[in-house]
Structure 1
């Protein structure tokens, strides 16, 4: 089985290339706004939308008019990708089970005071390639690239974006997943909370590094400095860029931390069980703490890493009780956020709130996977008996097909 992944690299364009990238990003934004306006006009007229084929034909037809010469200078395949993105955004609005609003017009650079537009180029006929430390982009040329890791496979698409004062590209490639493991020897539940980033049912604990809090003093200093500047002046722009770069540093620290933790727990376990957290709802009560804890990011990274390694990832239901559940007898307790430890009222066992929740998540996940027929408990062999006591599972075998069942 193959999986499409993104690999991010830093770009060092020349001033001429940078101007071209800014222009192409603005063109992609203009095409989005043009096609969205046409869809809105069409819907008001006859309650229908334009989809990819119609939008691609429209772009081809309007190129003949003088008013739309700016589209001619843009890569035609990249323009078609904008149409595909808009089609997906329109379909998601009317898809059941998704909470996505109707797409909006993208705001111009002059109003947002930054050029963070992006565009996506497609590798048709091997037009995108990396040679001699540079990546070739259609109608832009060869841009120097910092290739800190080798390519995994053939390039499919490249997304160019200016983010936090740096140019970068996101390259999509197909990666071969490892064969699914038939015997799974460890199952671990993970509780994610605001105090510790991750607490595992096997005793694994990672504290929240709080990168935003570490840079809070410097950030407050720059924000006060910005307030004293005349808005729009050169010194105001320089301070604004320094704030943007500091936010970029914090973002990269969080991403690096999440990658390292997700890789560690994926390597050490065969079955990973997480909670389906409502991170957006949690941010309403404690936004800065939740955002600084990369809660949702760790689960996303762990999910695709387990698929690559041929292991198993599972999420228990959002409304399953885990906090306050005794890990010994299963008694439920009502706890406040300040109660980090509690004593069970039934068996009188004193235990950690987070460790008990992680063990409860592991038990619930195990029951879900067995009930869904994804795994089955098997008796340990004589060699396994002499080692540390671990639960051993085996992937279920089916009469039709070789694919695994997915958890509901």
Structure 2
């Protein structure tokens, strides 16, 4: 079963936009009401039986059941009689709001922190239509319950064999969007084992990516490039009276600027991910927690680069294009020589890798990417350790240092070739053996 999400821009008219805004506000109040009931039930049972809380608490009866998802969902018909305003929203949309609350509650129980919060005015941004009897798309219009037909920019058609399962209407500062979830009986083959040409990927601030093949992409600063305009808009917002019409207009301009920066970054990440997939068949990256990196002295630039979003996008692109994506241990990748695996200590100021053991020299980020590729090969089935051909090469003691494919040291020149009693890099073994060659042909030169 294959499920994809396609995002389209929709253009509701003034009446439809008013209805959507009213629905969002009703859903926000319903979410807060259900959360209040949940918190009251917890508060009435958290204090001991022989003493009361220092603050006033709403006490529920002892036999009152826990306000679970099914109980609160079954209470919606009675709530519509008490509050006729709820009848304006489609019934399934209200059910998804209750489902959203209990998903947050289950997530809090699993990880132990992050209790669901009340949503302020304007914080409810999306509505979910979970079910359709027939195809809601008719030409350049989408038919939604109680909204009727809404204009949609169908910039790419729905593929043949896919059925629309649900539609999420999303409100942003620049307009309204419809995220259509489509599903098909076909399934993409899971690439569980690496194959073909391996590629290590190192991410950084000055160079957003550096590959084991020597390709380097200079980093782009999206937030810093637009920060001057954003600062001006935020200064104008600070001078407005809160909750006034001018304040709301200035706030929307700030939000639009943030959307503009985010869209540029996401578009660039998708293009870069496809470019990386064109270079190799098995992609390896570091398993870094980028949230920890964002807390350092380069936190602003780290968040601007969006490494976590790029890794998620690259994983998705590798899946739809039939590539293998794997994560390796990140510790010491920049402090290890990818050729002889000796430890070479470097500071952030050292941008060139120069190994004193084997005299291997190349760019620091490229060397880190090559070490990532080595670790990826070692931890997967691409590793050739233990095979007879590798043992024959290793016992010979012959090694060529200039064996990185497509000139990893093209900028700085190749290091001096010396005969060193150590094994050749796994990356070079895979390049010759796994793809039909022999490592002995690489060593014959």
Q: How would you bin the TM-score normalised by the shorter chain?
A: 0.7 to 0.9
Paired residues of 2:25 and 2:124 also in contact (CA < 8 A): no
* Residue in structure 1 matched with residue 91 of structure 2 by the alignment: 76
Distance 2:166 2:350 in 1: 49
* Residue in structure 1 matched with residue 81 of structure 2 by the alignment: 64
User: Any idea what SS the aligned residue of 2:142 has?
Assistant: strand
User: Any idea what SS the aligned residue of 1:10 has?
Assistant: strand
- Residue by residue, what CA displacement relative to the aligned partner does 1:274-333 show, whole Å, maximum 9, x if unpaired? 11221111111123211211211111011122222232111123x533122111111223
Which of 277, 289, 293 aligns to 2:305? It is 293
Structure 1: stretches of 5+ with no match in the other structure: 110-114, 380-386, 395-408
* Residue in structure 2 matched with residue 32 of structure 1 by the alignment: 31
Paired residues of 1:28 and 1:79 also in contact (CA < 8 A): yes
Paired residues of 1:184 and 1:392 also in contact (CA < 8 A): no
Paired residues of 1:324 and 1:356 also in contact (CA < 8 A): no
User: Any idea what SS the aligned residue of 1:124 has?
Assistant: coil
Instruction: Report which of the two structures shows the higher radius of gyration computed on alpha carbons.
Output: 2
User: Any idea what SS the aligned residue of 2:305 has?
Assistant: coil
* Residue in structure 2 matched with residue 383 of structure 1 by the alignment: none
* Residue in structure 2 matched with residue 118 of structure 1 by the alignment: 126
Distance 1:220 1:356 in 2: 39
* Residue in structure 2 matched with residue 23 of structure 1 by the alignment: 22
* Residue in structure 2 matched with residue 130 of structure 1 by the alignment: 137
User: Any idea what SS the aligned residue of 1:284 has?
Assistant: coil
* Residue in structure 1 matched with residue 398 of structure 2 by the alignment: none
**Offset at residue 224 of structure 1 (A):** 3.5
Paired residues of 1:164 and 1:247 also in contact (CA < 8 A): no
* Residue in structure 2 matched with residue 384 of structure 1 by the alignment: none
Alpha carbons of structure 1 residues 106 and 135: separation in structure 2 relative to 1, 3 Å = same
Alpha carbons of structure 1 residues 70 and 361: separation in structure 2 relative to 1, 3 Å = same
User: Any idea what SS the aligned residue of 1:88 has?
Assistant: helix
Which of 156, 165, 176 aligns to 1:167? It is 176
* Residue in structure 1 matched with residue 119 of structure 2 by the alignment: 106
Paired residues of 2:194 and 2:380 also in contact (CA < 8 A): no
Paired residues of 1:194 and 1:293 also in contact (CA < 8 A): yes
Distance 1:393 1:102 in 2: 51
* Residue in structure 2 matched with residue 53 of structure 1 by the alignment: 70
Alpha carbons of structure 1 residues 377 and 146: separation in structure 2 relative to 1, 3 Å = farther
Paired residues of 1:8 and 1:169 also in contact (CA < 8 A): yes
Distance 1:32 1:14 in 2: 27
Distance 2:302 2:241 in 1: 34
Distance 1:64 1:234 in 2: 35
* Residue in structure 1 matched with residue 319 of structure 2 by the alignment: 307
- Residue by residue, what CA displacement relative to the aligned partner does 1:335-362 show, whole Å, maximum 9, x if unpaired? 3323222322322333222111111111
More displaced, 155-164 or 217-226?
A: 217-226
User: Any idea what SS the aligned residue of 2:201 has?
Assistant: strand
Which of 88, 99, 102 aligns to 2:103? It is 88
User: Any idea what SS the aligned residue of 2:379 has?
Assistant: helix
- Residue by residue, what CA displacement relative to the aligned partner does 1:67-124 show, whole Å, maximum 9, x if unpaired? x2222211111111122222222222222xx475111111113xxxxx6521111123
TM-score (norm 1): 0.82
**Offset at residue 180 of structure 1 (A):** 5.0
* Residue in structure 1 matched with residue 421 of structure 2 by the alignment: none
Alpha carbons of structure 1 residues 302 and 377: separation in structure 2 relative to 1, 3 Å = farther
Paired residues of 2:194 and 2:381 also in contact (CA < 8 A): no
- Residue by residue, what CA displacement relative to the aligned partner does 1:130-173 show, whole Å, maximum 9, x if unpaired? 11311111122211111111123211111112112311111112
Alpha carbons of structure 1 residues 168 and 322: separation in structure 2 relative to 1, 3 Å = same
Distance 1:186 1:372 in 2: 13
Aligned length: 373
Distance 1:89 1:371 in 2: 41
Alpha carbons of structure 1 residues 226 and 255: separation in structure 2 relative to 1, 3 Å = same
Alpha carbons of structure 1 residues 330 and 108: separation in structure 2 relative to 1, 3 Å = same
* Residue in structure 2 matched with residue 209 of structure 1 by the alignment: 220
Alpha-carbon RMSD across the aligned residues, in angstroms, is 2.9
Alpha carbons of structure 1 residues 85 and 224: separation in structure 2 relative to 1, 3 Å = closer
1:220-239 matches, within 5 Å, as 220-239=231-250
Paired residues of 1:29 and 1:117 also in contact (CA < 8 A): no
Paired residues of 1:229 and 1:235 also in contact (CA < 8 A): yes
**Offset at residue 19 of structure 1 (A):** 0.7
**Offset at residue 5 of structure 1 (A):** 2.4
Paired residues of 2:2 and 2:188 also in contact (CA < 8 A): no
* Residue in structure 2 matched with residue 193 of structure 1 by the alignment: 204
Paired residues of 2:199 and 2:279 also in contact (CA < 8 A): no
Alpha carbons of structure 1 residues 163 and 287: separation in structure 2 relative to 1, 3 Å = farther
TM-score (norm 2): 0.76
Distance 1:219 1:183 in 2: 44
Alpha carbons of structure 1 residues 267 and 100: separation in structure 2 relative to 1, 3 Å = farther
